[in-house]
Amino acid sequence: MIPHSETTTERRRQQVNSTELIDNFNQRFAVVTADTPALQEQAFRLRYQVYCIENSFENRDDHPLEQELDEYDHRSVHSVIIDRPSQIITGTVRIILPDQDAAEKSFPIQKVCNHPLLQKHRLLHVSRSAEISRFAVSKEFSRRAADRRPTRRHTDFSNERRASMPNITLGLMNAIVRMSAEHGVSEWFAVMEPTLLRLLARFGIYFSPIGPMVNYHGMRQPCHAVMETLLARVRRERPDVWEVITDNGRLLDSDDHPFASFRLVN
């Protein structure tokens, strides 16, 4: 179960100085839209590492080029997280945009969940939706990044990798907000691991369950969020996190509405 409330004391305990969080993140990581063939290939290779090697979600024999791709990639926008000191890509995520010609087949979530929010008329006429997908962080790639920092003692590397995971997760959320802003997306769907949902909740980032858990790359929770509502709650509960995932508000307009310059006219 995802917690939906915290005491004021708990929130204060979790928060750090907001300037410190965003400065540390920006010094360590770069969020880059994978809009070139070279960057997309690196994203697909990282996905292969996570989905075929580190986990058995996909059959590696189906990907002889050691790149994990599927039928949704041509309708997706991709981003990667680059570890600045080593220049190694340690995380990737995509948002799948709707198929205007076949809305009922737009997203992978529609294969495992039949919630009314996913019906054709809802997707096309109420909002511009996207599915968050391939939210991937590689343990192996993170290890390689740590190994390339000669100023660190070897005994520090495992602790450093664990400390980096939350920052990489926030970087991927920044990428999701950025890609959504650029493509006029106002609502998100996802099928997420419970552990990821709990990690996001620690940062004040809450997705709402829609339907029961499903067996999809392991047991996962179909969920949904309205981008503007989610960001507003993050700003109330975790302003430090809000600054990281919105580029200190630069992805929002003066009224804290995301994607103002890209908003679709219904």
Q: Alpha carbon of 134 to those of 82, 170, 184, 217: distances in Å?
A: 16, 15, 20, 11
Nearest CA among 237, 234, 223, 232 for reference residue 257: 232
Token couple for 111: 């294969």
Are the C-beta atoms of residues 78 and 94 closer than 8 Å to each other?
A: yes
| pLDDT over 50 (residue 218) | yes
Please return the burial class of 142, using the count of CB atoms within 10 Å of its CB with bins 0-12, 13-18 and 19+: buried
Are the C-beta atoms of residues 228 and 253 closer than 8 Å to each other?
A: no
Q: Does 163 or 79 have the greater pLDDT score?
A: 79
Please provide the average confidence, as pLDDT, over all residues in the chain.
Answer: 83
Banded pLDDT at 254 (limits 50, 70, 90): low
Q: Alpha carbon of 252 to those of 30, 32, 35: distances in Å?
A: 19, 18, 22
pLDDT digits (tens, 9 = 90+) for 192-215: 999 999 999 999 999 999 999 999
Amino acid at 5: S
- In this predicted structure, what is the pLDDT of residue 10? 47
Cα–Cα distance measured from residue 118 to residue 230, given in angstroms and rounded to the nearest whole number: 19
Q: Alpha carbon of 198 to those of 14, 160, 180, 182: distances in Å?
A: 14, 21, 22, 27
Q: Alpha carbon of 233 to those of 79, 174, 197: distances in Å?
A: 24, 15, 15
Cα–Cα distance measured from residue 174 to residue 169, given in angstroms and rounded to the nearest whole number: 9
pLDDT digits (tens, 9 = 90+) for 13-46: 444 455 677 888 888 899 999 999 999 999 999 9
- In this predicted structure, what is the pLDDT of residue 231? 96
pLDDT digits (tens, 9 = 90+) for 114-172: 999 888 777 765 568 999 999 999 888 777 766 766 554 443 434 444 456 788 999 99
In CATH, what number does 8-262 get? 3.40.630.30
Name the 3-class secondary structure at 188.
strand
Token couple for 27: 């010094």
Name the 3-class secondary structure at 197.
helix
- In this predicted structure, what is the pLDDT of residue 6? 44
Q: Does 166 or 82 have the greater pLDDT score?
A: 82
Q: What is the mean pLDDT of residues 226-246?
A: 95
- In this predicted structure, what is the pLDDT of residue 13? 42
- In this predicted structure, what is the pLDDT of residue 27? 87
Nearest CA among 192, 250, 203 for reference residue 230: 203
